[in-house]
């Protein structure tokens, strides 16, 4: 480790470094707190979406299972080929404290579906319910991915905050204190030397 010069210029540089580190620490803490707030807000939205989906998804799955029991999986796969127009999903991104998280802009799907004449009411109901749920399911997936990204960024920001708070800032303060002490010591030595010179000249 290079020896720190005990000069007033070096002390000034150290003060600037400390000020910058403390400012960075403050900004990172604000970012961490904002990310945590967004994280819990997203988590609440996910819980609400799961609640909305829960019962309907179970109904659709049960209807599909009944249709499979009545018609067989191969017939259902053949009938499913008649489902027209695939849904279109338009995604965008949302900037949360410099973290880009996915956001659903629009999901287009036709709820109506007219199956073949051999299609059962159970299959029709399952298809209709799944299509109604699709926008919410896509939104849920996007929210869960956003939650993951936020969690990763929170951890990164926490590490930076802790590094500044417990390592970098204390180290700068220690260096500043050491330079001050050495400068004061040099001033005392100079004062003693000048005093001795003055006394010698007065004899």
Domain residues of the chain, as ranges? 8-194
pLDDT band at 82; cut points 50, 70, 90? low
Give the mean pLDDT of the chain.
Answer: 85
- Contact of 150 with 42, CB cutoff 8 Å: yes
> Which fold does the domain 8-194 belong to in CATH?
Helix Hairpins (1.10.287)
| Cα–Cα distance for residue pair 3/194, rounded to 1 Å | 28
Of 111 and 71, which is predicted with more confidence?
Answer: 71
pLDDT computed for residue 59 by the predictor: 86
Q: Helices then strands (H, E): number in the chain?
A: 4, 2
Average pLDDT estimate for 79-90: 71
pLDDT band at 162; cut points 50, 70, 90? very high
Maximum average pLDDT range among 79-83, 120-124, 130-134: 130-134
pLDDT above 80 for 132: yes
31-77 confidence digits (pLDDT tens): 999 999 999 999 999 999 998 898 888 888 888 888 888 888 877 77
Average pLDDT estimate for 167-183: 93
């Amino acid at each position: 480790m290079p020896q720190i010069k005990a000069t007033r210029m070096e002390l000034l540089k150290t003060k600037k470094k400390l000020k910058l580190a403390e400012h960075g620490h403050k900004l990172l803490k604000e970012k961490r707190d904002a990310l945590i707030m967004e994280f819990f807000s997203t988590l609440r939205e996910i819980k609400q979406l799961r609640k909305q989906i829960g019962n309907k998804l179970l109904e659709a799955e049960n209807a599909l299972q009944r249709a499979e029991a009545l018609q067989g999986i191969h017939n259902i796969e053949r009938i499913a080929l008649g489902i027209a127009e695939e849904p279109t999903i338009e995604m965008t991104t949302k900037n949360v404290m410099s973290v880009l998280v996915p956001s659903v802009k629009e999901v287009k799907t036709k709820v109506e579906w007219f199956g073949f004449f051999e299609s059962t009411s159970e299959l029709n109901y399952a298809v209709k319910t799944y299509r109604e749920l699709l926008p919410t399911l896509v939104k849920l997936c996007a929210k869960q991915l956003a939650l993951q990204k936020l969690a990763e960024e929170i951890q990164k920001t926490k590490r930076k905050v802790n590094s500044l708070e417990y390592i970098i800032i204390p180290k700068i303060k220690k260096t500043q204190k050491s330079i001050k002490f050495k400068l004061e010591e040099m001033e005392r030595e100079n004062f003693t030397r000048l005093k001795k010179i003055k006394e010698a000249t007065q004899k």
